[in-house]
C-alpha cells in the first residue's frame, strides 16, 4: 500500500510541455499558416466569415465611444448654430436700421431737391432750416427751427416747403427761431383765388389743420377745389405761392357770410426741412421834392 502511495506519474503528464515549447509550437504553426495563406489565399473566406460574425461585437464595443462623439458633435453644432443665429439676428437688426435710415435719407434727399427747385422758382433769397422741435404750447401751432438772428433770420420772414407756404417767423432768437404755422389761429395771410384773382385774408382755424376764409359774402365766387395763393400785397410773402385749397363751403341762410374751410397745400407736419425766405424789398418811391425843377417847370412858374 505504501508502495502505491509513493508512486508518482512522469513529470510530462503532470506539467505538460513547457511554455517555451508551446510558444515555439504555435509560432511555427502560425508562420506556416501565414506562408501558405500568402501563397494560396485559402483563409480569405474564413477571415471574412469571422469578420462578419465579429462585426456586431465591434459595433457594441464602439457604441459608447460613438454615442459620446455624436453627443459632443451635437452640442458643439448647437452652440455654433446658436452663436451664428445670434450674430445673424444682430446683423439683420443693424441692416434693418440702416435700411430704414437709407429710406429716410432718400426721402429727405428728394425733399431737399424739391426745396432747391422751390428756391430757384422764387426770386427772393432763402435759407434752408431744419425743424428742431415743436412749440411748448399745445394750443398753438408753432415749430422751432435751427436758424436764428446770428444767421440773419428776423421776425416776419415767410417759411415754405416745396408745396407752398407753411408759416411765418414770429420770433427770432440768437440761434433758433419760432415759426408760426398757417393753421395757427393768430396767423393771417393775404391771399387771392388763382382762378379769378379774388383777394381775401386767410386765417388759421387753430384746429384740424385747416384754414378759414371768414367775412366773405354768401354769393362770393369761390368753388370747392379752388387754389389759394399769396397775393404779395403785404410785402412778406412773394405773390403766387400756394397756400391752400378750398375743401368745403357752407352757406347758412341765418348768416350773411359763407363758411369756407380750406386745406393747407404745404406739408405742415410732414417734413423737417423748410425754407426761410428773405423779406421782400418794396420798390422805392421816387421823391419828386428832391429833384431839381425842370426848365419847363421854371417857365411855367413865371407865368401869371
% of the chain with per-residue pLDDT over 70: 76
Output the CA torsion sign for 266, 268, 272, 277. positive
268 and 145 belong to one structural domain: yes
- Is residue 269 one of the residues assigned to a domain? yes
% of the chain with per-residue pLDDT over 90: 23
Domain end (from 71, 91, 121): 121
159 and 77 belong to one structural domain: no
41 and 164 belong to one structural domain: no
Average pLDDT of span 17-41:
80
92 and 134 belong to one structural domain: no
8 A C-beta contact, residue 156 and residue 180: no
Residue 31's H or E segment, with its range, is helix 19-40
Choice between 172 and 67, residue whose per-residue pLDDT is larger: 172
143 and 271 belong to one structural domain: yes
| Number of Cβ within a 10 Å radius of residue 172 | 21
- 172-228 pLDDT, tens per residue? 999 999 999 999 999 999 999 988 889 999 999 888 789 999 989 988 999 999 999
- Is residue 210 one of the residues assigned to a domain? yes
Q: Which residue has the cell 382762378?
A: 195
Q: What is the pTM of this model?
A: 0.55
92 and 185 belong to one structural domain: no
189 and 64 belong to one structural domain: no
pLDDT surpasses 50 at 24: yes
What would the DSSP string read from start to end of 187-237?
A: -EEEEEETTT--EEEEEE-SSTT-EEEEEEETT----TTPEEEE--TTSSS
Between CA 137 and CA 226, with CA 208 as vertex, the angle to 5 degrees is 130
252 and 166 belong to one structural domain: yes
What is the average pLDDT score of the chain?
78
40 and 149 belong to one structural domain: no
- 111-137 pLDDT, tens per residue? 676 766 665 555 667 888 888 888 777
pLDDT surpasses 60 at 97: yes
- Is residue 249 one of the residues assigned to a domain? yes
pLDDT surpasses 90 at 168: yes
pLDDT surpasses 70 at 9: no
Q: How many residues does the chain have?
A: 304
- Is residue 272 one of the residues assigned to a domain? yes
Residue 76 to residues 79, 88, 126, 175, Cα–Cα distance (Å): 5, 18, 64, 59
d(CA 138, CA 134): 9
- Is residue 290 one of the residues assigned to a domain? no
d(CA 50, CA 37): 16
Domain containing residue 216 = 127-277
Number of domains in the chain: 2
| Number of Cβ within a 10 Å radius of residue 174 | 10
Amino acid at each position: 500500500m505504501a508502495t502505491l502511495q509513493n508512486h508518482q506519474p512522469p513529470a510530462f503528464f503532470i506539467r505538460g510541455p513547457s511554455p517555451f515549447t508551446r510558444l515555439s509550437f504555435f509560432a511555427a504553426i502560425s508562420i506556416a499558416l501565414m506562408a501558405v495563406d500568402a501563397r494560396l489565399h485559402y483563409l480569405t473566406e474564413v477571415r471574412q466569415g469571422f469578420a462578419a460574425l465579429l462585426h456586431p461585437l465591434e459595433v457594441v464595443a464602439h457604441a459608447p465611444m460613438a454615442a459620446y462623439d455624436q453627443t459632443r458633435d451635437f452640442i458643439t453644432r448647437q452652440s455654433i448654430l446658436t452663436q451664428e443665429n445670434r450674430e445673424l439676428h444682430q446683423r439683420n437688426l443693424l441692416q434693418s436700421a440702416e435700411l430704414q435710415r437709407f429710406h429716410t435719407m432718400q426721402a429727405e434727399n428728394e425733399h431737399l431737391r424739391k426745396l432747391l427747385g422751390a428756391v430757384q422758382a422764387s426770386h427772393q433769397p432763402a435759407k434752408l432750416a431744419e425743424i428742431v422741435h415743436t412749440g411748448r404750447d399745445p394750443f398753438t401751432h408753432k415749430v422751432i427751427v435751427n436758424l436764428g438772428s446770428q444767421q440773419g433770420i428776423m421776425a416776419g420772414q415767410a417759411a415754405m416747403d416745396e408745396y407752398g407756404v407753411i408759416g411765418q417767423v414770429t420770433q427770432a432768437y440768437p440761434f433758433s427761431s419760432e415759426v408760426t404755422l398757417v393753421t395757427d389761429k393768430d396767423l393771417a395771410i393775404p391771399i387771392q383765388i388763382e382762378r379769378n384773382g379774388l383777394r381775401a385774408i386767410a386765417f388759421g382755424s387753430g384746429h384740424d389743420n385747416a384754414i378759414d376764409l371768414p367775412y366773405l359774402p354768401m354769393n362770393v365766387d369761390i368753388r370747392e377745389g379752388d387754389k389759394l395763393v399769396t397775393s404779395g400785397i403785404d410785402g412778406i410773402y412773394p405773390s403766387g405761392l400756394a397756400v391752400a385749397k378750398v375743401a368745403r363751403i357752407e352757406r347758412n341762410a341765418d348768416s350773411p357770410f359763407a363758411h369756407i374751410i380750406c386745406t393747407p397745400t404745404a406739408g405742415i407736419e410732414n417734413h423737417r426741412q423748410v425754407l426761410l425766405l428773405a423779406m421782400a424789398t418794396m420798390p422805392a418811391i421816387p421823391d419828386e421834392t428832391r429833384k431839381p425843377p425842370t426848365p419847363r417847370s421854371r417857365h411855367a412858374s413865371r407865368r401869371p
